[in-house]
Structure 1
């Protein structure tokens, strides 16, 4: 199956044998996080290809219906209904196709890691915990979860032991830290190997966080 998602690609010096698919936040694009790759300081020996997909352009209700790149519509800032489930499901299918494309191209699923910031993290959670093939890890940054109450029945056992790193800014006013902690608690309560990190920042990433992500990726993707 060919993915319909365009993406920015950052390739290793050698032949890639692992892939990180990194999903951006609302209104951003795949170009937003691509410059982070050198900052992660991964050794060349890991041969990791990074893919930064562009979300589809759609009208976003809370932004007066403005058209922008978004993984789903946000119709309300109410915490329970912030993520539009239909949009999440649609984007999950698009990212799934991209993951399956990597597998068809010879990258084992357990060498594929899903990462996402804000809206992108919602998709990384939603797909990663339901995906029927073992993944290398899930990286959830400054994000929350769509329908956490349905996770227990919808999750797939293939990723029950997949490491998850959750990171959030303590002063985040876009996605309050409590929402990130609620998602962390949801996966922890179901027995996933999940790690929580918080930083004195807002809705962004910081140097200390990038360094920790780099170290975590090395552990997850070491051959």
Structure 2
């Protein structure tokens, strides 16, 4: 269902020379195509760049416990939607392996690892934090929109024993989110900061569990800052 060869992966190609990549992970039950269309609707245009390729993979369908075991395109299973329960490590780790293949594919295509950003909406942001802070601490950065980590997250455990420089985190959250509580996002941000992550946290008043235009514009600015266009070196 999800394959690095490109099946079920939607790509917004750069207009010019490809020198950097963003991997954008959708929320639970969505698809790569779905989140790309949603972003386009909110922004009135694609999240597109001159030099950056934006990749929207789709999660494989798996039984999802919060939906009574019904099949859903989710990055991993959860025991429940709460920050106060254990993580479903087995499914998180198997997906980290698959997404690592996607990162390696970009590297094979000539993109340096510090020119790759990973992030996503809701569960996609959580997945990106696991992927980067546990397995790929040399990516350019991580973004998480309306996302959270469980209180006992393996991400925190990995960072407690870490002394390398960590990717910067860009986090956004709606203050009236009823699905992923604002306080969960805030607590995630504070904990990561205490463990050495350089992290920003933007609050959006009156925003539910959704994407918003000014939030996506802030994200676009941050992506540009982390992945600036490279000056083409000329030998004079």
**How does the TM-score come out when normalised to structure 2?**
0.84
The equivalent of 1:175 in structure 2 is 180
* CA deviation profile, 1:180-215 (whole Å, cap 9, x unmatched): 111101111012111000112000111110111111
1:170–1:199 CA contact under 8 A, matched in 2: yes
The structure 1 residue matched to 2:218, chosen from 201, 205, 212, is 212
Across the aligned residues of Structure 1 and Structure 2, the Cα RMSD in angstroms comes to 2.2
Superposition deviation, residue 101 in structure 1: 1.2
User: How many residue pairs end up in the alignment?
Assistant: 219
Query: Given the superposition, is the C-alpha separation of residues 203 and 147 from structure 1 closer, same or farther in structure 2, using an over 3 Å criterion?
Result: same
Q: Work out the CA distance in 1 between the residues paired with 2:217 and 2:122.
A: 19
The equivalent of 1:29 in structure 2 is 31
The equivalent of 1:184 in structure 2 is 189
Query: Given the superposition, is the C-alpha separation of residues 82 and 52 from structure 1 closer, same or farther in structure 2, using an over 3 Å criterion?
Result: farther
Query: Given the superposition, is the C-alpha separation of residues 70 and 134 from structure 1 closer, same or farther in structure 2, using an over 3 Å criterion?
Result: same
Structure 2: 5+ residue stretches without partners: 231-236
The equivalent of 1:19 in structure 2 is 21
The structure 1 residue matched to 2:62, chosen from 58, 64, 79, is 58
Superposition deviation, residue 61 in structure 1: 1.6
Superposition deviation, residue 159 in structure 1: 4.6
The equivalent of 2:234 in structure 1 is none
Matched, 1:77 2:84: no
Query: Given the superposition, is the C-alpha separation of residues 124 and 41 from structure 1 closer, same or farther in structure 2, using an over 3 Å criterion?
Result: closer
Q: Work out the CA distance in 2 between the residues paired with 1:117 and 1:154.
A: 22
Superposition deviation, residue 26 in structure 1: 0.6
Superposition deviation, residue 96 in structure 1: 1.3
Structure 1: 5+ residue stretches without partners: none
The equivalent of 1:154 in structure 2 is 158
Superposition deviation, residue 7 in structure 1: 1.0
Q: Work out the CA distance in 1 between the residues paired with 2:106 and 2:172.
A: 26
1:132–1:159 CA contact under 8 A, matched in 2: no
* CA deviation profile, 1:121-153 (whole Å, cap 9, x unmatched): 111001111234521110011011146554354
The equivalent of 2:135 in structure 1 is 131
